[in-house]
Amino acid sequence: MKSIISALILILFYSAAIYSQGFDVKAKGVQKFSFKDDKGRNQATFTSRTPFDEVDGLTTQISGTVSFNVSDVKNTLQGEISFPTASLQTGITMRDRDMKAPKWLDAERYPTISFKILKVTNIQKLAPNKLKVDVLGNFNLHGVTKEIPVEATMTYLDESSATEAREPGDLLGVTANFHITLSQYNVQNMILGTRVSDNISIGVNIVGTNKF
């Protein structure tokens, strides 16, 4: 009988660990992280693939904050990440100029691209300090806002001598991947779908600090 009870306790313990909705870290309560990095180490990348062309681009001018209760990330995660439209680069000056012109992203009229968290739809604990989350949020581009799903991984690093080499404070690393359809954001250039894909893959790799 004792062995059965012990087994049940172990099952409950491991089930609680697997389905925990937050981090097991030193910090308690609500923590807020800023992703502004003047050293340009945070990146958002985009990729376009067509039979005629392959285009890869990025920006390092990320800003924004997220906050959450460390023990209940699923129900408390909120925040917004953004970057200037004019900061996008593909490595070719003429192409960059065309991309930001009125016929494409129109950086002067729509100077900011952003993603605002609405809710976490699913969460999975990969390690005590690492979560995989499915997030629904508002993506704003070219003056249009659409709800989109994003898959992200969040890693919480307690402040240490190792993390201080990057930034002071606890650190939050976030990687995310998602797709957007340019035509849904009223980007209707004549070469869309031939030289530039209508379906754009976007990746985010950023680290924020709670001391800012």
pLDDT (tens digit per residue) in 84-107: 999 999 999 999 999 999 999 999
- Copy the structure tokens of residue 97: 């100029």
Quote the CA–CA distance of 116 and 13 in Å, as a whole number.
Answer: 34
Whole-number average pLDDT of the chain: 91
Q: Which amino acid is at 130?
A: K
- Domains annotated for the chain, with CATH where assigned, are 2-209 (2.40.128.110)
Quote the CA–CA distance of 197 and 88 in Å, as a whole number.
Answer: 17
pLDDT of residue 1: 54
pTM of the model: 0.88
- Copy the structure tokens of residue 175: 């990687």
pLDDT of residue 193: 78
First to last CA, the chain: 55
Q: Tell me what the mean pLDDT of segment 111-138 comes to.
A: 98
- Copy the structure tokens of residue 154: 């969040």
Quote the CA–CA distance of 3 and 5 in Å, as a whole number.
Answer: 5
Quote the CA–CA distance of 136 and 116 in Å, as a whole number.
Answer: 9
